[in-house]
């Protein structure tokens, strides 16, 4: 099949071309984000491959359908950016990569936490200026702290295992508690109790209408003063305005985010020569206890390899008329 890849970077090209000869598909790597203006670039292809911040709303899907596109292969796990009802009505199949390297995201979440608690990012900058002072670098142990994990899917489970390895007490909230996690000592509690009893809260749940702004002014008040909040899942799980207020009052002691609710206009772009127009993320970056990375958690060699392989298998299944292993079910 001839596939148009949108929002592609050098690492996408490298990982997919590495396996190209094993599948026989033809690739067109396109740098622009997929949207209503760029959708015409899909002309002449049988399928498209899009990423997490490519908005697949009803008008874009209609244009793709008019171009003969019958398959959209998401090279990501989340699909909240897709109008599933519109895709169903147009007869477009949606496939995704449900799990590539859960450890990659979980390890990055823990890296954010460790960096914040031990202030290694500040120490790095100091030492590069020949400043070896330890003033202001006092950190906090993870050992014997209580870590709350919201969502224990594949990534949440990996994060729990890491936290247990550090000697932390792990509490979790999930609509479907894992027996495997219970066996390693994870305690499942109602959301309110997890929030109130944890020194650290790490988010690992999908973005749905029910979880949108899960972290808001009300749930923040249920947390301990000085809580560390980590989000490597979806940006809109957090109400950014409420979090800024909580940082100002020191309700939140540390904030580490790899995702942001308005990230589609910022992340994956080099804006170093531009004036950043987003006032909320600009405000977040003024806090000394905030660490932001640009949707980097998935970016390991191992994860990219699995993303490419799973995506290409998904496309081949469609081409050969086989049942789609990773189809996004549309009710």
Catalytic positions are 234, 263, 295
Separation CA 195–CA 121 (nearest Å): 27
Distance separating alpha carbons of residues 28 and 46, to the nearest angstrom:
11
User: What residues contact 247, with CB distance under 8 A and at least 6 apart?
Assistant: 255, 284, 287, 289, 290
**What is the rounded CA–CA span in Å between residue 92 and residue 81?**
15
**Dist CA 58 CA 82 (whole Å):** 8
Look at residues 194, 156, 158 and name the one whose alpha carbon lies nearest to residue 173: 194
Six-digit token pair at 76? Answer: 């990501």
Phi-psi category of residue 137: left, alpha or beta, with phi > 0 → left and psi -120 to 50 → alpha: alpha
């Amino acid at each position: 099949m001839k596939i148009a890849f949108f929002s592609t970077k050098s690492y996408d090209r490298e990982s997919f071309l590495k396996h190209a000869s094993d599948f026989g598909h033809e690739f067109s790597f396109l740098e622009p984000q997929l949207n209503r203006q760029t959708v015409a670039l899909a002309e002449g292809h049988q399928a498209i491959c899009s990423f997490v911040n490519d908005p697949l709303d009803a008008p874009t899907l209609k244009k793709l359908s008019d171009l003969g596109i019958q398959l959209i292969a998401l090279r990501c796990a989340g699909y909240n950016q897709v109008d599933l009802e519109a895709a169903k009505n147009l007869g477009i199949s949606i496939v995704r990569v449900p799990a590539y390297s859960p450890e990659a995201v979980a390890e990055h979440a823990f890296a954010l936490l460790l960096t914040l608690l031990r202030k290694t990012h500040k120490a790095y900058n100091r030492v590069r200026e020949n400043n070896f002072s330890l003033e202001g670098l006092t950190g906090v142990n993870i050992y014997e702290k209580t870590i709350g994990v919201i969502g224990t899917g594949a990534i949440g489970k990996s994060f729990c295992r890491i936290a247990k390895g550090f000697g932390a007490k792990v509490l979790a909230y999930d609509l479907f508690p894992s027996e495997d996690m219970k066996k390693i000592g994870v305690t499942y509690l109602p959301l309110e109790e997890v929030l109130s009893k944890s020194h650290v809260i790490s988010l690992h749940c999908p973005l749905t209408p029910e979880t949108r702004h899960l972290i808001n002014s009300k749930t923040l008040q249920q947390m301990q003063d000085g809580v560390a909040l980590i989000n490597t899942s979806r940006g809109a799980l957090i109400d950014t305005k409420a979090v800024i207020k909580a940082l100002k009052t020191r309700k939140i002691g540390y904030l580490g985010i790899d995702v942001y609710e308005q990230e589609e206009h910022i992340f994956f772009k080099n804006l170093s020569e531009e004036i950043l127009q987003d006032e909320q993320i600009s405000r977040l970056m003024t806090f000394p206890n905030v660490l932001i990375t640009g949707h980097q958690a998935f970016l390991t060699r191992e994860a990219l390899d699995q993303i490419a392989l799973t995506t290409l298998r998904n496309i081949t299944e469609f081409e050969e008329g086989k049942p789609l292993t990773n189809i996004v079910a549309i009710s």
